[in-house]
Amino acid sequence: MSRVGIRELAAELGMSISTVSRAMNAREDVSAATRERVTAAAERLGYQPNQSGRTLRRGATGTVALVIQTNTARTEMGETFYFSLCDGLQQVLATKSLDLVLLPVGASADPDQYLVNAVDRHLADAYVVSNTHRVDRRIEYLTQRAVPFVALGRGGVSDHAWLDLDFEGVAAHSVARLAGLGHERIALASDDRDITSTFEFVRGYRRALAEHGLPTDSGWEIRVPDMPEGGAILADRLLAMSPRPTAVVLAQETLAIGLYRRLREAGVEPGSDLAVIGFRKNPVCDHLLPSLTSFEVSLDDYGRRLGEIVLGRLTPDCPDDQPVQEVWAMKIVPGESDAHPPREKAAR
Amino acid sequence: MSRVGIRELAAELGMSISTVSRAMNAREDVSAATRERVTAAAERLGYQPNQSGRTLRRGATGTVALVIQTNTARTEMGETFYFSLCDGLQQVLATKSLDLVLLPVGASADPDQYLVNAVDRHLADAYVVSNTHRVDRRIEYLTQRAVPFVALGRGGVSDHAWLDLDFEGVAAHSVARLAGLGHERIALASDDRDITSTFEFVRGYRRALAEHGLPTDSGWEIRVPDMPEGGAILADRLLAMSPRPTAVVLAQETLAIGLYRRLREAGVEPGSDLAVIGFRKNPVCDHLLPSLTSFEVSLDDYGRRLGEIVLGRLTPDCPDDQPVQEVWAMKIVPGESDAHPPREKAAR
C-alpha cells in the first residue's frame, strides 16, 4: 500500500491541501467541524504526516543559514539581537535535524555578492536574510534560483516569506504617546541605510503625525551614519535647529547612547529637555539614565517563529500555501526618557 | 617530471621541512643566508608552492566553523568580540576560497555534545573552538578524529594549535599598576566558568601580588555568575568585606557596568573609592564614567592571525611543524578608573 500523505488525504476529502494542512495544525481559521472531518479521515486512511527531517526538501548540507551584517553600528556597539534570536530558532530547526549556521557578512564584503557566493557554494539548504532592502537583489536571486528562504524584514516585490518586527506600529505608537504629552515638534532619527525597517518606521511616524494633526518638517527626519558616533551626530543636528524639536523617536535604540552624552555636553538634559523613545528594549541601553522608553520583543519566541516559517519553506507538501508574511507586535516598556511634557508647555 | 613540492625541496637541501617552510615564509627565526639558499634551490628546481585552495586538506564543505557560546554575559550585555574578529578571519580564509560560518551554541545546548554533532555531520572542514576548558572534551574529540582545528584560548593537554589573548600578562600588568599607585588590597573578579582564560588571569594576578610583596586573601578572588547581574553581585561582595579591597581587576570587563551602578547606589564612587581595571577595551564599556582602564587588541589583526593558523592546520605539507601556540600581547589604554591612589594613602 502506498503511503497516504497530505495530497491523498486532501483528494479523499475533496479539500485543498492548504485547508487540510491548516486543519491538521489545529489552526483557528479552520472550523472545528472541518478539523474533525480531517482528523477522522486521517485516522481511517492511515495518514502519515510528512514531518520527519528526512522528508523535508533538503539539500546535502542539512543546515539553515542566518546571514547577518557584522559591520553595523549595532554590532560595534554590542550585538544582542541575532545571538539572542539563535536559541529559539535553533531549537525549532533541531526538531527536523537541521543545524543553524551564521554567515557573517563583514565590512569588506558586498552583501549581494556574498549571498550569491553562499548559494553557489551550497553552504546551506535554506537561508534567512536580514537587513532587507525595498529592492533586494538577494531576494530576487534566491527566488530565481528557487532556493528556500525567509526574509527577516520585509523587502523585494516577490511573493516570498518574511517575518518582521512592527517598525511602523512602534513609530506610530511613539508619536501618539509624545503627542499625548503635548509635544508638537517631534523628530525622527534613523541610520542612513536604505533598508525596509527604516522605510516602515518613517511611514508609521508620518502617519501618526498626520493622525494627530501635528506639523511635519522634512528637516526633522534625520539620517545619521551607521556607526557608534551616529548618536552624537544626531544630537548636533537637533541642537542646531531653531525652534528645536522637543522629542525624538529613534529607529535604532543604540543611537540613544551617543545622543545622551552629546546632549549633556551641550547642557541639554535628555528626558526633561528632549524626550526620547527608542525602538527595541536592548540590554546594551539598560545603563542609560533616564531609562529609555522602548518596546519589548521576546527574541526567544521570535526566533522560534522564524524557525517555524523556515521549516514551512522546506516542507514541499503544501505548494498552494501562501508564503507566511507576518508582522510581530511589540510591547511598550515605559521609561523615564519621555516622562516629561515639553518645557514650553510645562512653563505655561 | 613530477612536481617539486616542499618535501623534495627539503630533501635536496638536507633541511627539515619545517625550516624550509619557515624560510619560504621569510620568518625572522631563519637566517638570511638560509632564506637565500632555500629561495635559490626553489627557483632552480621549479618548486611549486602548495598554497592554492585546491591543495588544502579539505573536506566537502569548503568551510571553516567558528564555534561560539551565545549564552554568556558578554553576548547578553552586547557581543563585540566575535563579530569584530570575523572580518579579518574571513579575509584570510577567502584567499584559499574557504568560507567562514559561525556555529552558535545556545543556552539549551551542551557545548561538548554540540561540537561532537557538528563534527559528525561534517558541518565544516576545520573548527575554531572558543571558551576552552583546561580539560576540554571538544579538543580531545577533534584530536582523536584528526579533524583540523585551532583553539581560541589555551586548553587541553594535547599538542594542538591555539591562539590566546594574554590574560596572564594583563592581570599581572594591572596588579603592578595598582601596586605602583599604593594599593595593597587588590581583589580579582571573574565569571564562574572553569575556562582557561580565567585560570590564566588568576595566575597572572597571584604572580604579580607575590612579585610586589602584596598580601593575598582567597576571599579577594571573587567568582560571580556569568550573567549581566554579575557586576552587581561583585559589588555586593566587595561592599560586605572589612577591610574592603581598594582596587579590583576584572577578567571580564563588562562586569564594570553592573559594578559601577551598584557601587553608586551604595554611595561608593568607582575610581576614587574603588579603583577598577578591566580586561579588554570594549565599545560596550565606552560609556562608563570614570572611563575604564583596559587593554586594547586589534580584533582585525587577531582575526587575521587566527586565519593564518587555521590555514596552517589545513596545509598538510609540513607534518613535522609544531602546532602554533601563540599568546597575543595587548596594550594598555589608561582611563580614569584607576587614576586615584587608595583613600587611606591619600589621607596621610
B91 vs A contacts (CB less than 8 Å)? 106, 108
Least Cα separation, residue B209 to chain A (angstroms): 33
Cβ-based neighbours of A281, under 8 Å, separated by 6 or more: A253, A294, A295, A296, A297, A333
Q: Taking a C-beta distance cutoff of 8 angstroms, is the pair A102, A41 a contact?
A: no
Task: From chain A, pick out residues whose CB is under 8 angstroms from the CB of B103.
Answer: 99-102
The b-or-e profile of B121-142 (16+ CB within 10 A means b, else e) is eebbbbbbbbbbbeebebbebb
Chain A closest-CA separation from residue B62 CA (Å): 8
| Site of grid cell 580614569 | B336
Q: Per the CB < 8 Å rule, is B99 touching A123?
A: yes
pLDDT at residue A50 is higher than 50 = no
Q: Which residues of chain B neighbour A84 with C-beta distances below 8 Å?
A: 70, 75-76
Rounded CA-CA distance B80/A284 in Å is 11
pLDDT band at B3 (very low <50, low <70, confident <90, very high): low
Higher-confidence residue of A2 and A5: namely: A5
Q: Is the peptide bond before A245 cis (omega within 30 degrees of 0)?
A: no
Q: Inter-chain contact A79–B83, Cβ cutoff 8 Å? A: yes
How far apart are the C-alpha atoms of A291 and A335, rounded to whole Å?
A: 5
Q: Best interface-test mutation with B: which of A63, A75, A100, A102 has the largest number of B CBs within 10 A?
A: A102
CB-based contact (8 Å) between A102 and chain B?
yes
pLDDT at residue B148 tops 50:
yes
Q: Tell me how long chain B is.
A: 348
Q: How far is B188 from chain A (nearest CA, A)?
A: 23
**What digits encode the pLDDT tens for the residues A198-222?**
999 999 999 999 999 999 999 999 9
Q: Which of A287, A288, A292, A306 best probes binding to B when mutated, by most B CB atoms within 10 angstroms? A: A287
Q: CA-to-CA distance for B242 and A330, rounded, in angstroms?
A: 47
Per-window interface: A 171-230 vs B, CB < 8 A = 228
For cell 576545520, what's the residue? B126
C-beta pairs of A267-271 under 8 Å, 24+ apart in sequence? A268/A239, A270/A337, A271/A336, A271/A337, A271/A338, A271/A339, A271/A340
Q: What is the DSSP letter of A133?
A: B
Sign of the Cα pseudo-torsion (B69, B75, B79, B81, in order): negative
| Nearest to A315, CA basis, from A7, A40, A88 | A7
The mean pLDDT of B187-209, rounded to a whole number, is: 94
**What are the E-state strand segments in chain A?**
63-69, 99-105, 126-130, 149-152, 162-165, 186-191, 221-224, 247-250, 275-280, 293-296, 325-328, 331-333
Contact B87/A102, CB-based, under 8 Å?
no
Write down the pLDDT at residue B113. Answer: 95
Query: Chain B residues with CB inside 8 Å of A76's CB?
Result: 80, 84, 283
- Homologous superfamily assigned to B167-297+333-347: Response regulator (3.40.50.2300)
Average pLDDT, chain A: 88
Above 60 in pLDDT, residue B2?
A: no
Q: Does the distance separating the beta carbons of A104 and B104 come in below 8 Å? A: no
Contacts of A79 in chain B (CB under 8 A): 75, 78-80, 83
Question: Lowest-pLDDT range, A2-16, B29-43, B136-150, B210-224?
Answer: A2-16
What distance in Å separates residue A112's CA from the closest CA in chain B? 15
The nearest alpha carbon in chain A to B87 belongs to A106
As a whole number, mean pLDDT of residues A85-103 equals 94
Query: A86 vs B76: CB contact, 8 Å cut-off?
Result: no
The closest of B225, B224, B223, B220 to B205, measured between CA atoms, is B220
Domain boundaries, chain B: 6-49, 57-164+298-328, 167-297+333-347
Confidence grade of residue A3 (pLDDT, cut at 50, 70, 90) = low
Could you give the CA distance from residue A237 to residue A244 in angstroms, rounded to a whole number? 10
* Joined grid coordinates for residue B51: 598554497
pLDDT score of A304 more than 90: yes
Residues from chain B that touch A284, judged by Cβ atoms under 8 A, are: 77-78, 284
| Residue (of A213, A287, A207) closest to A249 by Cα position | A207
Neighbours of B119 (CB within 10 A): 18
Q: For cell 631563519, what's the residue?
A: B30
pLDDT score of A54: 36
Mean of per-residue pLDDT scores for chain B: 88
pLDDT band at A8 (very low <50, low <70, confident <90, very high): confident
Q: Domain A6-49 adopts which CATH fold?
A: 434 Repressor (Amino-terminal Domain) (1.10.260)
Q: Euclidean distance between the first and final Cα of chain B, in Å?
A: 84
Question: Residue A30 — left, alpha, or beta (φ > 0 → left; ψ -120 to 50 → alpha)?
Answer: beta
pLDDT of residue A265: 96
Chain B nearest CA to A175, separation (Å): 28
A99 and chain B in contact, CB less than 8 A: yes
Number of Cβ within 10 Å of residue B239's Cβ equals: 16
Query: Partners of B47 in the beta sheet?
Result: B4
CA B339 to chain CA centroid, nearest Å: 27
User: Which range among A25-34, B175-184, B331-340 shows the weakest confidence by mean pLDDT?
Assistant: A25-34
What residues form DSSP beta bridges with A224?
A191
pLDDT at A1: 38
Query: Which residue of A99, A107, A257 is in closest CB contact with B123?
Result: A99
Asked if residue B318 lies in contact with residue B16, where contact means CB atoms within 8 angstroms, the answer is: no
CA A279, CA A299: separation in Å to the nearest integer? Answer: 14
Residue A2 pLDDT exceeds 60: no
> Per DSSP, what are the bridge partners of residue A68?
A104
Looking at residue A22, its pLDDT comes to 65
Distance CA A218, CA A223 (A): 11
In whole angstroms, what is the distance from residue B34 CA to residue B154 CA?
Answer: 32
- Test A283 with B79 for CB contact under 8 angstroms: no
Beta bridge partners of B149: B127
Name which of B54, B96, B61 is nearest B311 in CA terms. B96
Interface size A-B, in CB pairs within 8 Å, comes to: 115
- Which residue carries 574557504 as its cell? B98
As a CATH number, domain A57-164+298-329 is 3.40.50.2300
- According to the CATH classification, is domain B57-164+298-328 in 3.10.129.10? no
B60 vs A76, more confident: A76
User: What's the angle, vertex CA A94, arms to CA A89 and CA A96, rounded to 5?
Assistant: 115
From A75, A121, A123, residue closest to B83, measured CB to CB: A75
- Do the Cβ atoms of A137 and A170 come closer than 8 Å? no
- Residue of chain A with shortest Cα separation from B89: A106
Query: Mutate which of B72, B82, B86 to test chain A, going by most A C-beta atoms within 10 A?
Result: B86
Q: Looking at this predicted complex, what is its ipTM? A: 0.79
pLDDT in tens, B19-64: 776 677 665 667 788 888 888 888 787 775 543 333 455 566 899 9
Is there a shared CATH topology between the B57-164+298-328 domain and the B167-297+333-347 domain?
Answer: yes
pLDDT tens profile A125-154: 999 999 999 889 999 999 999 999 999 998
Rounded percentage of chain B residues whose pLDDT exceeds 90: 66
A94: nearest CA partner in chain B = B109
3-state secondary structure chain B: CCCECHHHHHHHHCCCHHHHHHHHCCCCCCCHHHHHHHHHHHHHHCECCCCCHHHCCCCCCCEEEEEEECCCHHHHHHECHHHHHHHHHHHHHHCCCCEEEEEEECCCCCHHHHHHHHHHCCCCCEEEEECCECCCHHHHHHHHCCCCEEEECCCCCCCCCEEEECHHHHHHHHHHHHHHCCCCCEEEEEECCCEHHHHHHHHHHHHHHHHCCCCCCHHHEEEECCCCCHHHHHHHHHHCCCCCCCEEEECCCCHHHHHHHHHHHCCCCECCCEEEEEEECCHHHCCCCCCCEEEECCHHHHHHHHHHHHHHHHCCCCCCCCCCEEEECCEEECCCCCCCCCHHHHHC
> Residue A164 has what pLDDT?
96
pLDDT at A268 over 70: yes
Asked if B71's CB is within 8 angstroms of A121's CB, the reply is no
Answer whether B101 sits within 8 Å of A75, measured CB to CB.
no
Radius of gyration of chain B measured on its C-alpha atoms: 23
Neighbours of A266 (CB within 10 A): 12
CA separation for the pair A89, A84 (Å, rounded): 9
User: What's residue A60's pLDDT?
Assistant: 66
Pick the more confident residue, B121 or B266: B266
For chain A positions 46-65, those within 8 Å of chain B (CB to CB) are: 61-63, 65
Whether A75 and B90 lie within 8 Å, measured CB to CB? no
Residue type, B236: D
Q: Over range A76-102, report the average pLDDT.
A: 92
List, for residues B77-109, the tens digit of each pLDDT value.
Answer: 888 899 899 999 999 999 999 999 999 998 888
CA torsion A51→A55→A58→A62, rounded to 10°? Answer: 70
* Subunit contact A118:B102, Cβ cutoff 8 A: no
The span from the CA of B20 to the CA of B13, in Å, is 9
By residue count, chain A amounts to: 348
Cβ atoms of B188 and B348 within 8 Å: the answer is: no
B77 touches chain A (CB under 8 A): yes
Please give the residue of chain A at the shortest CA–CA distance from B102.
A102
Q: Which three cell numbers stand for residue B41?
A: 634551490
